[in-house]
Amino acid sequence: MPKETMSFSIDVLSILDENGYADRGLMPDIADHQIKSFYEAMVLARILDDRILKLQREGRCGTYASSLGQEATQVGSAFALKDEDWMFPYFRETGSHIVRKTPLANYILYWMGDERGMKISSSVNNFLECIPVSTQVLHAVGAAFAMKHKRRNNAVLVYMGDGATSKGDFHEGMNFAGVFRLPVVFVCQNNQYAISVPVSMQTASGTIAQKAIAYGFDGVRVDGNDVFAVFAATKAALEKARAGKGPTFIECLTYRMGDHTTSDDATRYRSKEEVDAWRTKDPIERLRRYMESKGLWTKDYEDFIRKDSEERVEQAIREAEGMPEQGIEDLFSFMYEKMPDKLAEQLKEAKGE
């Protein structure tokens, strides 16, 4: 039998460079007002992120996972979704939640440790934040299976980190999605660390995108600090999913500029030089440069959106802090549609009935 070589490839996509120049041939069709929406959501995400970090330092908020530096990955991908699609976030999703209309007060409330902030809304198809690493992948794939079964033509987008791609849940989900050609898009926020563990110690694979090949579907790597590339790749993948052509895996190469969470100190495991090098790739700066060159950005516009974002965040904090205390019932009723008998008994006891 003659020897044969089978070869596989993944696309690597980058449209907007660090200086704000966009490759015209690759640029997706995006109206000016939409480019401004991208920018405004990214600025709001950064302001909200910074404010929650300060609230945590003041003891007004619980442990928080910052999205600093990952705004283009989150905003670009979430904007590619249609309202009827489903989003399954993980725990580092400030930008995605902003785009998907999670009320800011709810988002803050959740990080204050109050799960009322993450109740699934009936108006937007968002699942709730998922703290256990990678388990959301199975939930998302299950939802995509249901969409296919019910012949709905909406798609599912699930986010995960680079570390999450080493979990069994991830591989089971990828395999199931490939076998059943499910309408799901996997968006990996490769911020290059899983707490203190760098990607090189997480996997021997040259890219994370190539893992998709083993499961029989396309993997693509995009510059995760390039909002246009993230948007274009996600939009194409979602269209493919809705057309019944199966899943796609998108690796967004980005960098976690902050600590893992407010309980971490990243200076203990990575160098200042490394962080400074990534500062020059800032996703907001490069979009601003592009917009300025197209006459879409002025100092007045910047001042206006900053002030507006700050006011929205302050108002949301007032709302979250003004929420009436949670009743003890919520501790028991949140998990199940119908409360199991055992829990009902415990609730009665807790209320002294």
User: Considering beta carbons, is residue 100 or 167 the nearer one to ligand TPP?
Assistant: 167
With the CA atoms of 233, 237, 239 and 240 taken in that order, what torsion angle do they form, in degrees rounded to the nearest 10? Answer: 140
- Asked if residue 79 lies in contact with residue 41, where contact means CB atoms within 8 angstroms, the answer is yes
Q: Give the shortest CB-91-to-ligand TPP separation in angstroms.
A: 7
Give the Cα separation of 270 and 293 in Å (integer). Answer: 35
Q: Give the shortest CB-181-to-Mg ion separation in angstroms.
A: 28
Q: Is 269 a catalytic residue?
A: yes
Q: Is 97 a catalytic residue?
A: no
Please identify which residue in 89, 95, 117, 161 interacts with Mg ion, judged by CB under 5 A.
161
Residues that contact ligand TPP, how many (by CB under 6 A): 15
The backbone region for 127, taken as left when phi is positive above 0, alpha when psi lies in -120 to 50, beta otherwise, is beta
User: Considering beta carbons, is residue 197 or 305 the nearer one to ligand TPP?
Assistant: 197
Does residue 42 sit in helix, strand or coil?
Answer: helix
Here the tokens at position 293 are 């060159």
Q: Give the shortest CB-187-to-ligand TPP separation in angstroms.
A: 12
Which range touches Mg ion (CB under 5 A), out of 51-59, 189-197, 206-214, 273-281?
189-197
Q: Measured at CB, which residue is nearest to Mg ion?
A: 161
Q: Give the shortest CB-172-to-ligand TPP separation in angstroms.
A: 14
Please identify which residue in 131, 277, 344, 350 interacts with ligand TPP, judged by CB under 6 A.
131
User: Considering beta carbons, is residue 135 or 346 the nearer one to ligand TPP?
Assistant: 135
Which range touches ligand TPP (CB under 6 A), out of 130-138, 206-214, 295-303, 314-322?
130-138
Please identify which residue in 129, 162, 223, 226 interacts with ligand TPP, judged by CB under 6 A.
162
User: Considering beta carbons, is residue 74 or 106 the nearer one to ligand TPP?
Assistant: 74
Q: Around 321, how many Cα atoms within 13 Å sit in the side-chain half-sphere?
A: 12
Our finding on whether 191 is near Mg ion (CB under 5 A) is: yes
Our finding on whether 95 is near ligand TPP (CB under 6 A) is: no
Site string for ligand TPP, 191-210 (x = CB under 6 A): x-xxx---------------
- Residue of 256, 286, 288, 290 marked active site: 256
Here the tokens at position 303 are 């001042």
Residues that contact Mg ion, how many (by CB under 5 A): 4
Please identify which residue in 71, 129, 162, 251 interacts with Mg ion, judged by CB under 5 A.
162
- Asked if residue 131 lies in contact with residue 91, where contact means CB atoms within 8 angstroms, the answer is yes
- Asked if residue 115 lies in contact with residue 185, where contact means CB atoms within 8 angstroms, the answer is no
- Residue of 260, 286, 288, 290 marked active site: 260
Q: 283-293 and 32-57 are packed helices; what angle lies between their axes, rounded to 10 degrees? A: 150
Q: Is the dihedral of CA 163, 277, 18, 100 positive or negative?
A: positive
Q: Give the shortest CB-190-to-ligand TPP separation in angstroms.
A: 8
Our finding on whether 253 is near ligand TPP (CB under 6 A) is: no
Q: Tokens 């007002």 map to which residue? A: 33
Does residue 12 sit in helix, strand or coil?
Answer: strand
Q: Which of 142, 122, 123, 214 is nearest to 183 (CA)?
A: 142
Out of Mg ion, ligand TPP, none, what residue 132 binds, judged by CB under 5 to 8 A for its kind, is ligand TPP
Here the tokens at position 137 are 């992948």
347 Cβ contact partners less than 8 Å away, ≥ 6 residues apart: 328, 329, 332, 339
CB-based burial, 305-327: b 16+ in 10 Å, e otherwise: beeebeebbeebbeebeeeeeee
Out of Mg ion, ligand TPP, none, what residue 92 binds, judged by CB under 5 to 8 A for its kind, is ligand TPP
> At residue 213, what is the residue type?
I
Q: Is 139 a catalytic residue?
A: no
Q: Which residues are catalytic?
A: 256, 260, 269
Q: Rule CB under 5 A: which residues touch Mg ion?
A: 161-162, 191, 194
Q: Rule CB under 6 A: which residues touch ligand TPP?
A: 92, 131-133, 161-164, 189, 191, 193-195, 256, 260
